[in-house]
Chain A
Amino acid sequence: MATAKLVGIGLVAGAFGALFGVGGGIVIVPLLVFLCAFDQRRASATSLGAILITAVAGAATYGLHGEVKPGAAAIVGLPAVAGVLIGTSVQQRVPLRALTYGFAIVLAAVGVRLLV
């Protein structure tokens, strides 16, 4: 039963992640919390592990169709590793609230830009 739920989550997350070019954490984390009673931290960490497989599968499938630009992926993907290390290390030390709203507004603005 638990396995069936996890398989269901994977099917949805895979379709979502590939359709949008994201890992699918935005789907996996809440589903693990609500359907499988994971706590937030365990859900986020487990989602990251699953995304590893989703991203490989997505990149490989798109890649076979010639739609992946490896050079461009390296230009954003490699510096991002350093970024994540910086982000997680300062996360505990800075007051995030104002910053979080700022980020939400920027994302919304880009979203609107893509919509119109």
Chain B
Amino acid sequence: MTIVLVGLLGLAAGVLAGLFGVGGGIVFVPALIFGLGLSQLHAEATSLLAILPTAIVGSWRQHRYGNIDLRAALTVGLASIIGVQAGVAAAESLPESQLRRLFGVLLLITSAQIAWRARRES
């Protein structure tokens, strides 16, 4: 039952990502925490795997539309591998409660950004 609910949450996360142009991760992490009871660290780690299918489909579509600067994407992506090591080390060394609060702040910032963009576009 929970699995069905969380799957629906995943579907909803995808719809929101498509509608509002945000990544799935911002919704996946809370879904994994509240839906499946994962810890903050495990939810974040798992979210990175969970965004892969949407990122693959999205990139493929955008590439077909000719919107991707491949050289830039490759440069940013490859450099990010080094950054990832620092991010993982930081997440693993922070206490769970602090990591969770940091993510809460990220949600507030993202929320403000979405509202600001909607206001500007209207």
What is the size, in residues, of chain A's interface with B at 8 Å between Cβ atoms? Answer: 88
With a cutoff of 8 Å between Cβ atoms, the chain A residues found around residue B18 in the complex are 83-89, 91
The answer on a CB contact under 8 Å between B14 and A82 is: yes
- B87 CB within 8 Å of chain A: yes
Tell me the dominant secondary structure on chain A's binding face.
Answer: helix
The answer on a CB contact under 8 Å between A80 and B75 is: no
The answer on a CB contact under 8 Å between B85 and A61 is: yes
With a cutoff of 8 Å between Cβ atoms, the chain A residues found around residue B85 in the complex are 14, 18, 61
**Which chain A residues (1-15) contact chain B, with CB distance < 8 Å?**
3, 6-15
Give the complex CA separation of A46 and B71 in angstroms: 9
With a cutoff of 8 Å between Cβ atoms, the chain B residues found around residue A16 in the complex are 83, 87
Contact A114-B100, Cβ < 8 Å, known A11-B82, A20-B25, A76-B13: yes
The closest CB in chain A to the CB of B80 belongs to: A14
**Which chain A residues (51-80) contact chain B, with CB distance < 8 Å?**
51-59, 61-63, 65, 67-70, 72-80
The closest CB in chain B to the CB of A51 belongs to: B55
With a cutoff of 8 Å between Cβ atoms, the chain A residues found around residue B55 in the complex are 23, 48, 51-52, 55
The closest CB in chain A to the CB of B99 belongs to: A19
Give the complex CA separation of A112 and B30 in angstroms: 12
Tell which of A20, A42, A51, A108 touches B108, judged by Cβ atoms closer than 8 Å.
Answer: A108
The answer on a CB contact under 8 Å between A10 and B107 is: no
The closest CB in chain A to the CB of B39 belongs to: A67
Give the complex CA separation of A82 and B16 in angstroms: 11
The answer on a CB contact under 8 Å between B53 and A77 is: yes
**Which chain B residues (35-89) contact chain A, with CB distance < 8 Å?**
35-36, 38, 41-59, 62-63, 65, 67-70, 72-88
A14-B80, A48-B68, A86-B14 given; 15 more Cβ-contact pairs under 8 Å: A14-B84, A20-B29, A26-B106, A38-B72, A48-B59, A50-B80, A51-B55, A59-B52, A80-B17, A87-B15, A101-B118, A108-B108, A111-B105, A114-B101, A114-B107
What are the 4 A-B residue pairs with the smallest beta carbon separation, nearest first? A83-B14, A87-B18, A14-B83, A21-B44
